[in-house]
Amino acid sequence: MEEESEKDHRALLNQGEENELEVFGYHTQHLRRALCLIASVLTGGVLQLLFYWRPEWRVWANCIPCPLQEADTVLLRTTDEFQRYIRKKVLCLHLSTLKFPISKNPKDPLVADHHSVINQAVMKPDLKLRCIQVQKIRYVWDYLEKRFQKVGLLEDSNSCYDIHHTFGLGLTSEEQEVRRLVCGPNAIEVEIQPIWKLLVKQQSVKLHNLVEDHNKVQVTILVKDKGLQELESRLLVPGDILILPGKLSLPCDAVLIDGSCVVNEGMLTGESIPVTKTPLPGTENTMPWKCHSLEDYRKHVLFCGTEVIQVKPSGQGPIRAVVLQTGYNTAKGDLVRSILYPRPLNFKLYSDAFKFLVFLACLGVVGFFYALGIYMYHEIPPRDTATMALILLTVTVPPVLPAALTIGIVYAQKRLKKKKIFCISPQRINMCGQINLVCFDKTGTLTEDGLDLWGTVPTANNCFQKVHSFASGKALPWGPLCAAMASCHSLILLDGTIQGDPLDLKMFESTAWKMEDCNVNAYKFGMSDSNTIIKPGPEASQSPVEAIAILRQFPFSSSLQRMSVIAQLAGEHHFRAYLKGAPEMVARFCRPETVPKNFPQELRNYTAQGFRVIALAHKVLKTGKLSDVQRLAREKVESELTFLGLLIMENRLKKETKPVLKELSEARIRTVMITGDNLQTAITVAKNSEMIPPSSRVIIIEASEPEEHIPASLTWQLMENQEMGTGKKEAHVNIGNSSGPEGETGSSYHFAMSGKSYQVIFQHFNSLLPKILVNGTVFARMSPGQKSSLIEEFQKLNYYVGMCGDGANDCGALKMAHAGISLSEQEASVASPFTSKIANIECVPHLIREGRAALVSSFGVFKYLIMYGIIQFIGTLLLYWQLQIFGNYQYLMQDVAITLMVCLTMSSTHAYPKLAPFRPAGQLLSPPLLLSVFLHSCFTCIVQVCAFLYVKQQPWYCEVYRDAECFLANQSNFSSNMSLERNWTRNATLIPGSILSFETTTLWPIVTFNCITVAFIFSKGKPFRKPIYTNYIFSFLLISASGLTIFLLFSDFQDIYQGMEFIPTITSWRVSILVAALTQFCVAFFVEDAILQNRAFWLLIKKVFGFYSKSQYRTWQKKLAEDSTWPPINRTDYASDGKNGFYINKGYENHELVPKEKLKSGDQIKEQHFWTRL
C-alpha cells in the first residue's frame, strides 16, 4: 500500500530527455501556512528569504505529501548531479469559459486527433483540466496515464497518414479555441527585467528584441468548412494548416504536406545556405511519422525562426504545412530556453568557495561568543554587548566576496571582446582555464571553408579512366558524369543569383552549365514551371542534350552521407536518378560489377594526400509517368545504381592551424579531430597539421555490427598495413605520439575510427571505450549526435573539454562541451557559450590564456579577501580583550582605500602571452592554497600578538582609557609637535568601543601593512599572468596605500591624529612598527614564492608520498602504460560476455538512433537505424 502511495505521489517529467525532472505532489495546509507567515513576520522576513533560496523548505513547511492527482502544489527536482528544486502551483483551466457548448459526455472526444493528450486531460462533466508551467513549457495532468504531459505540440505517435488525413483540411474553429485555451499562445515572450534585476540578468533586453518580431507575424491558415483566414501568429495552435504564400519568417514549427520550398536555416545551423524542404509522404502505415523511412525527418520540417525564401507549388493548390509545435516548444523556443535556463556548471571553484564561506561564518560565530563572554564578564549593558558581538560576527566575511569572484571574469570578457571573441556564459571563462582537451571540427575550422576542384576520375567498363584536371582550363567533356555534376545538387536560382552549398556551387560551376528561370523551356518536358531547368553555358563542352529538368530532390543529410535527384533530359521520355555522396556510401548502393576493382586503392590514394573525394552514380528509372516520380520511395531510387566516378577537391589547411596546434601541443593540451568527412582525409589533415606528430604510428579501429550468427567484432590495424576490400567497412587507427596532454609524454600511438565504428564500440564494447578515448585522435564520419556523445564520454574521463566548430552540425557538441567556441557569425552562435568573429582557431589559445588568467585572478582575489577578513578578525579580537575597537576612519581606510581598490584592479592584469605546459589549480581546497592561508594567518597572528603584548612593556605605555592623567603628563614625550597637547579625556572612561589607545595606534598600521602585503604576494604574474608592474593602476594603488600608511604613521599633524583617532608615539616605536611590517612582508613573500608556488617542490612531495591524480584519464593512462599487450595491433576481437573483458552493453539504449517501440519489441538493432535521427 505504501509503495502504491509513493507511486501516486511521485512521477517523472520529460522521461529520458536532457531536462528530465522528478515531480512530487503536495497539498497546502492552511494552519501550516498561517504559522509560516507568523514566523516570517517574527524573523523580520528572514524565513521568507530562506524559503526563496530553498523552495523545497517552503513546500515541506506549508504542505503535506499527497497523490499528484490531488495536489495543488508540486515540487520538481532535477535528476542530474545538482538535484535542484523548483516549486510550482497547479493551475486549473475551465473549458466552460469558451463561448460555444462542449459535450460533457466522457465518450465524446474534444479534439479529432485521437493521439492528443487533451482528450485524456479534461475532466468531465466539470470541463476543467489541471496544468503546471515549468521553464516556459505547459504540462497538463493526464488522468489515464497518471502523469503530467507536455502540450503545445502534435504527438510523435501520429503516422504520415494521420497527419495528412486528420489535419490536411484544417481544424474546426471550435477545436482551435479548445487548443488555444489548453496550449496557450504561440509566443516566445521574454520578460524585460526591472532595473534592479538587470544587474544580474543583462540578456533579457537582447533576448526580448530577438524574439519580439516572432509574435507579430500575420499568417494565413485553412479553417475546416470555412476556407482561408488571416490571423496573428500568436493565435496558431498545433494542427492548424499554415499556407505559405512566398517569403515568410516562420512563427512555429510545421511539417510540409503539400508542395516544396527553400528555407534559410542560418538561425539554427549557423550556415546561410538554402535548404530544400520536401512534403511528407502520405503513406498508409502505422509507423510514427518521424520513422517512416531511413531519411532524416527534418527534411520535411520547417523550423520556427527560419526564413522561407522560395516556394514551389505542386500544382494541386497552395503550399500547405501542418503546425507541429508552438511557443517555447519550437526549435527557436528551445534555443531561447537554453539561454534563459542554462545548464548549471559543476566547477569545483564555486563549491569550494561556498565551503570557505561556511568556514569564515563559523569563525565569525566563534568571535561572536568570544565577544559575548568578554563583555558580559565586564558587566557591560546587554545592548552594547549585543552590538559589539554582532560587529565581530560580520568581520570575517567580507561583503565584496561574491563580486570579487566575478570581477576577474568581467575583465577577461572585455579583453576577449577586443579580440572579437564574444561570450554569453561568462561563468565558463574560469572553466576555460582548466581545459586540457580541445576537439576541432575539420572543414571550415582546421581547413579552409571553400573547396577548390582538383579534377574528376570517370569510370568506363568497370575501370577508372584518365583524370580530367580542372587546372588545364579545358571544359568537362559531356557524359553521364557531367550530367550528374550538373543536376545532382540543391542549388536554387534566387533573384537571378545561384545560391546553395559552396561544394554544390563549385561542382556546378565546373561544368560551365547554367540555371535558368523555371518557366524557360519547361514546355519541352511537359512540366509545371516549378521545376529547375539546367542548360549548357557558352563555355560548356558540346552536348547533345539541350536541357535537364530536375523533377525531385532527396536532400543531403549528414547522417545519410548522400543526396540524390530525379531528372529528365530534354528529348527523353524516361527519367534518370543521380546520386552523389561519400564514396564508401555511394559504392554500397551501386551494382558491384560497375564499381572498379581498384576502388579502395584509388580512393585511398587521393584521401591519403588530403583530398576530399565525392563519388557519383546514376541509373535509368523504369517508371514512365511523372505522377509516379512523386511517389517513388528513396530506397527504390537509391539502389542498383551505376558507378560514374570520383570528384576530387582540395581542402587546404588554414595558415593559422599548424601554429595554433603546435602551441597547444607545447602547452600539453590534447587535440582531437571530430569531423563528418572521410577518415583517410581526416588522418591526412591531422598529420599535415601535426595534430598527429610525424614520428607517430596510426592504428585504425574498424568495428562491425553483429550478424545472424556472428557477434560484433573489433579489428585493430596499423594504417601502413591496411588493405581495404570493397566489402569492408571503413575504420582506421593511427598510432603515434600523443599531442602532449598532461602526463602523456610517453604515449606513442593514436587511434582513429569512423562514426559507425564508434557507435558499435559504444554499444557492444563499452568497457573498451575509455581505453580507446585516452588515445583517440581522429573521429571521422561522425553525425551531430555522435559528436555530442563523444564530448560527453571525454567529460566522463574527467577531461575539461573545449569544442571548436564552424556552427554547422556542431551546435549540440558546442553546448555539451565545457567551452564551446563557434566560428560562425550567424545567430546559431547563441547556442554556443563563445563565438569568434575571426573564423580561425587562433581564438582557442586566446580563450585558454584568458581563462587561466581569470582563474588565477579569482583565486588571488579570493585568497586576499579571506586573509583580509582573518587579519581584521585577529586585530579586533585583541582589542576586544580590553573592550576596544578600531575607529570608523581606520576601518574606512582599510575597506575603501585598500580592499575595494585592490578587488577592482587586482584582476585587471593581462594574461601571459605564452601558454604554460601545465594548468593552474582548479580547486580552492587544495594543499598549496590551504597551507598558504594557514601560514599567512599564523604570520599575521604572531606579529599582531607580539606587537599587542610588546607595546604594553614600553616605559611610556599607559592604559589611556583608565589613566588619562598619566597619559596627559607624558604626552610631550610622544611627539616633537607640542601643538598636539589637547584634551583626550573624552575617552578616559571604561566604556565598550573605546578607540583611543596605544594598542589601536600600534595595531592599525600593522594590520594595514598586512593587507597590502597579501595583496602584493597574491597578485602573482608569470606563468599565467603578466608581471604585476604591467598592471599600472594596481601597482600605483599599492604604492599609494603604502605611502599613505607610512605618512600617517610618521606624521605629527594634529588634525590627522584627531581624525584617525591615533595617539602620538615616540619615533623609535614607529620605526619598530615599520620594521616589523617589512620583516613580515619578506618572510611572507619568500614562503609564498619559493615554497607554496614552487611547482617542482609540490611534484616532489607528490612523488615521495605517492600521491596521484584521481582523474579517470590519468588512471587509464597509468594502467595502459603498464599493460604490455596494449595497444592491440593487427587482430580482431569479438564481443562476448566475460571474454577478454569485453561485454555486450545490453542496457544500451540510444533514443537518438533507435525508435523506442523497436527496443521494447526486442528487435535486433539494424545498421540503418543508426542514422534515423541526428
- Catalytic site positions: 441
Q: Which grid cell sits at 525?
A: 518536358
In terms of DSSP H, where are the helices of 173-240?
173-183, 195-198, 204-212
DSSP 8-state symbol, 367? H
Q: Is 172 exposed, middle or buried (0-12, 13-18, 19+ CB in 10 A)?
A: middle
Q: Which of 856, 1108, 918, 1093 is nearest to 349 (CA)?
A: 856
Rg of the chain on CA atoms, in Å: 36
Q: What is the distance between the alpha carbons of residues 489 and 532, in angstroms, rounded to a whole number?
A: 11
Helices within 341-381 (DSSP H only): 348-377
- Per the CB < 8 A criterion, the answer to whether 960 and 952 are in contact is no
| The three cell numbers locating residue 174 | 471550435
Cβ-proximal residues to 847 (8 Å cutoff; 6+ apart), any chain? 416, 421, 429, 432, 802, 819, 821, 834
Asked if 534 and 513 touch (Cβ cutoff 8 Å), the reply is yes
Of 220, 218, 219, 240, nearest to 228 by C-alpha is: 220
Alpha helices in 992-1066 (DSSP H): 998-1017, 1032-1050, 1054-1060
Cβ atoms of residues 700 and 748 within 8 Å:
no
Kindly report the backbone phi and psi dihedral angles of residue 863, in degrees, each rounded to the nearest multiple of 5, phi listed first: -60, -40
Cell matching residue 693? 606528430
Strands 733-734 and 307-312, how do they pair?
unpaired
DSSP one-letter code for 842: T
The 10 Å Cβ neighbour count of residue 920 is 20
How far apart CA 339 and CA 424 sit, in angstroms, is: 8
Q: Output b/e per residue, 857-869; b: 16+ Cβ within 10 A.
A: bbbbbbbbbbbbb
Task: Name 12's bridge partners.
Answer: 22
DSSP 632-653: --HHHHTSSBEEEEEEEEE-PB
Q: Order of strands across the sheet with 253-258?
A: 227-232, 218-223, 241-244, 319-325, 253-258, 301-302
Q: How far apart are CA 560 and CA 1173, in angstroms?
A: 10
Burial 751-778 (b: 16+ CB within 10 A, else e): bbbbbbbbbbbbbbbbebbbbbbbbbbb
Maximum CA extent, the chain: 124
What distances in angstroms separate CA 791 from CA 31, 795, 954, one per listed residue? Answer: 51, 6, 68
